[in-house]
Amino acid sequence: MNRHQVFESKEVGLSAVPTGRKVKIVIDGESICLINNNDTFQAVSNSCPHLGESLVKGTLNYLGEIVCPWHSYRFNLQTGEESSRRCRDLRVYKIIEEEGTIYIEL
Ligand code: FES
């Protein structure tokens, strides 16, 4: 596992990615969808496991799932599991906050 700094502080992160927003970041060639879900950062692969649509263009629903914009498959942001098991799980990345700094583990 490699740890990469995402934001130097949570405050910087919250102002760069306000609550409910998503951004695409690329680390070590991996395209990642970084999400601010109620001021908690979560990260998943940006590529939908169904047919590869970019999940940064998706939406967050009231269940805290990310909904793919193409065929509306819904993925749990904790487990990566699709709500009806219609495709393989979405890769979920671990976000770590340590001494105020936000990191992602790949
Ligand atoms: S490409 Fe995401 S649901 Fe089909």
Q: What is the pLDDT of residues 8-17, one digit of tens each?
A: 999 999 999 9
Mutation to probe ligand 1, out of 70, 82, 85, 89 (largest number of atoms < 8 A from CB): 70
Closest atom of ligand 1 to CA, residue 73: 3
| Nearest CA, atom 1, ligand 1 | 51
Please, are residues 93 and 33 in contact by the beta-carbon 8 Å criterion? no
* Average pLDDT of the segment spanning 51-72: 96
Query: What value does the mean pLDDT of the chain take?
Result: 96
**Rounded Cα gap, residues 44 and 65, in angstroms:** 11
Q: Give residue-wise pLDDT tens across range 86-100.
A: 999 999 999 999 999
pLDDT at 1: 81
Q: How far is CA 12 from CA 15, 17, 68, 77, 92, in A?
A: 5, 9, 27, 22, 23
Q: CATH no. for residue 44?
A: 2.102.10.10
Residue whose pair of structure tokens reads 């993925």 in the numeric block:
75
Tell me, yes or no, if the pTM score tops 0.75.
yes
Q: What is the domain count for the chain?
A: 1
Domain of 69, in residue numbers: 3-105
